[in-house]
Structure 1
Amino acid sequence: MNFPTITPIWQIHLCGSRNITTNGTSPSTGTLLPLGKKESVIKSSPDNIFLVESSCNPRPTYRAWCAVESWAAQNPGGKVWYVMTSPYYEDLTGMVQKLLTTYPNLQIVALDLSEVFNGTPLHEFFASLKWTQNTAWPEIQLSDLMRVALVWTFGGYYSDTDTICINDSSRLHNVIGFQNYQEIANGQFHAEPNHTFMLEIMKHMVKTYEPGVWGSLGPKCFTEVGAKLCGGPLAQKQKPFECANMTFLAPTAFFPVYWSSYQYLLEKNKGTNLQQVQNHFYLLSHSYRLTVLCGREL
C-alpha cells in the first residue's frame, strides 16, 4: 500500500516514525486514508457532525468507536465525519467495516490540515508548528484547533470521543454548553459556517496560547471569548441564555452526570432510570475510568 510521495510537514511532526515509514508504506493490515482537499471531501451543512482523532493513532480505542457509532445511530439525518490524522487505519476485527456498512451516514476521512486551516485566523499559527513546541500535549492542542476550524469552515456539530450520544441532536443550532456553572465546555458545540463566535475563538487562540497550560485552547479560551462577547463574566447569568447568536446551555444538557459524580451511574437502579431523572440532555460524557464487576446490577 503506497502513500503519496510527499508527506505534509505537520503529519511528520505529529506522527514521527510511528505510522509513516521510511519507504512510504503502511502495514498490510492498514486501510489507506488519502489526504483530501477539504472542499472535495466535506460540504458545508448544519447537519455535519465532526469527531476527531488527533494523535496519529491508526487504532482508535473502542471507546472512541463507540462514540462515533452512537452519533451515527442517533442522528440518521446527519453526516458523521470521523476525521483522522493517521495516514491509515487498522481494522483487525472487521468492526470498522461493519460500522461503515451499517451506517451510510458515517465517513472516515483524512484531510490535509494545511488546507483546513488555510483561510482561517489559525493558518499561520498552525503552519508555524507552535502547537507542537514546548508542550506535553501536541495532540490535544491540535484537537482544540481542528474542531473550531472544521465547524467554522463547514458548519455543524462537534463532539469529543469520550461521549455517548443518546438523543438526536439535529434540533441543536448555534449552541454551546457549560461544563459547570462557571466554565464553558469546548467538547460539544454547534455553529453555522463562518459563525462570529468561532471566528473570535480562533483569533483568541492565537493571542493567548500557553503551551504549558492544559486547556489554554479549550474551556479557558471559550470562556474568555464568551465573557468578551456577552459583556462580562458568565457565571452569574441564568442558564440557558442567548448571546452573540449562540445559545449557552446549562451543564445538564451535555453533562447530566458531572465527571466527579460518576458513581451515581453505578448506584442500584440509577442506570436504568437515568433518562427519567434527566429529561433534557443529549449525551453522556465518560472521561473517567473505573472498574465494574462483571454481572453487577445497575
Structure 2
Amino acid sequence: MLKEIRIFSIILMITALGYISRTTIKSKGYYILEFLISNNSALVTMDNANGMSSPFSANTILREGNGILFMETTDRMDPPSLVLCAIESAARVYPDRPVAFFMKGLEDITTEEDEKRARQQFPTLSSYNNVYLFPLRMDKLFKNTPLKPWFDKVNPKREVYWTHVSSDACRFALMWKYGGIYMDADVISLYPIPQDHFVAAETFTTTSSSVFGLSPHYQLAWQFMENFVENYRGEIWGHQGPGVFTRVVKKLCGMPVFNSTDDVMCTNISYFHPQRFYPILYPSWRRYFEVWQNLPTFNYSYALHLWNFMNKEGKSMVPGSNTLVEHLYQKQCPTTYGYILRNEKTHI
C-alpha cells in the first residue's frame, strides 16, 4: 500500500511539473507574441510619421506603377491654364489611373486635411478624384540615384537653364522611383497610350524627353540618369533632356528608321513615330494659336506637345478666338475652359 502511494505521488508530481512547464512556456510565448505585435505597431507608427505608409503619400498612391506624372520645378503655385489643361486632359483620358502633379512650392502633405487644402487651391482639378498633388523635394527624390552626387555639388545660381535642367533630372528620378507615364506640363492628352514601355521620336533624328513610359526601377531610367551626369553640359539647351534620350537610344539600337507612320522597336521597348506627340513641329508652334479653315483630326496622335518654351510672346488660349488651341481646350479640358470663359479664378 505504501509503495502504491509513493508511485501515485511521483505521478502526481510529474503531472504538476508538466502543467507548470506548459503554462510557463505558454506565458513566455504570449509575452513574445505581445512583444512582436507591440514593436510591429511601433514600426507602423514610425512609418506613418515618416510619410512612408500614409494613404496620402506618393509611395501609396503610385505604388502600382501606373501613374501619369507631371511636375513643376519652380516655386510657382499659380500655374497657367495650359498646365491645368494638360493635367485635366490626362485625368479625363486616364480615368482609372492616378494623375500626379509634383510641385516644388507645395507644402508637405501628411494628413487628409493637408490633401484637401492642396486640392482646393486648384478648383479646375478638384472635381477629378484621380488627380493628386505631391510636394517635389529634389534632395529626397535624388537619394540613392546617380543624380545625388551631381545635385549636391551643382550651383543653381550659376546654371543658365536651371529650371529646365532640374526638370530633366527630376523626370528621370520620378520614373525610376514610381514608373508610369511622364508628361511635360504643356502636353494635352487626346487618347490613351496603349504601351507601358516607350520612348518617342521628336524628329527622325532626335528622341523626345517630353513623354515617355517605363515601369518602376526600369534599367533604362537608370541609364538616363547615368548619361545625364556623365555628359553634363547644363549651359547647352536640350543637352540634358532630348540630348540624354538621343544619346542613350543611339547607344542601344542606333537611330531607329521609320518607313511609315508605324512605330518601331528599340531593344524591348516601343519607339514611337513623331506623329504620336509632335504632328506640329516646334518651328511651327504658332499654328496652335491660329485659326484653321479645317481642323486637323490628329488621328495618329495620342497627345500634343504645344512647345511652351518657344512661346516667348506669351500667347494663350482666348475664348471666342476660334483658334486650334481653343478647340483643344473645349474638348480635352472643358472645366478649365469653362473657368476661363467665365473669367473665374483657376487658383485660390
- State the TM bucket, normalised to the shorter chain: 0.7 to 0.9
Residues 105 and 136 in structure 2, CA contact (< 8 A), matched pair in contact too: no
Which residue does 1:208 correspond to in 2? 231
- Matched residue, 1:63: 82
**TM norm structure 1:** 0.76
CA contact (8 A) 2:181 2:213 kept: yes
Query: Mean alpha-carbon deviation: is it higher for 43-52 or for 245-254?
Result: 43-52
2:102 counterpart of 1:83: yes
Alignment of 1:85-124 (within 5 A): 85-88=104-107, 96-100=122-126, 102-124=127-149
Q: Distance in 1 between matches of 2:51 and 2:139?
A: 11
Equivalence for 1:49: 68
The question of 1:227 aligning with 2:260 is answered no
**What residue in structure 2 maps to residue 136 of structure 1?**
160
CA 1:252/1:126 → structure 2, altered by over 3 Å: closer, same or farther? same
In 2: Cα distance, 1:103 partner to 1:294 partner:
23
1:196 aligned onto 2:219 = yes
Unaligned runs of 5+ in 1: 1-34
Q: Paired residue for 2:292?
A: 268
Alpha-carbon spacing, 1:62–1:295, altered in 2? closer, same or farther (3 Å) = closer
- Partner Cα distance (1:293, 1:48) in 2: 31
Q: Secondary structure at the match of 1:184?
A: coil
Q: Which residue of 2 aligns with 1:187?
A: 210
Post-superposition offset of 1:134: 2.7
Stretches (4+) displaced over 6 A: 291-294
Say which structure is richer in strand. Answer: 1
Q: C-alpha deviations, 1:14-45, integer Å up to 9, x for none?
A: xxxxxxxxxxxxxxxxxxxxx96699433333
1:88 offset after TM fit, Å? 4.3
d(CA) in 2 for partners of 1:186, 1:216: 11
**Contact 2:70-2:182 at 8 Å conserved across structures:** yes
Residue 292 of structure 1: CA displacement? 7.8
Give the number of equivalent residue pairs.
255
Please tell me the residue identity of whatever aligns with 1:165.
Answer: S
| Identical counterparts, % of pairs | 24
Structure 2 runs not aligned, ≥5 long: 1-49, 109-116, 324-348
The alpha-carbon deviation at position 168 of structure 1 amounts to: 2.0
Give the structure-2-normalised TM-score. Answer: 0.66
Work out which of the two has the higher radius of gyration on C-alpha atoms and give 1 or 2. Answer: 2
SS of 2:100's partner is: strand
Task: Pick the structure with more helix per residue.
Answer: 2
Matches of 2:302 and 2:80, distance apart in 1: 22
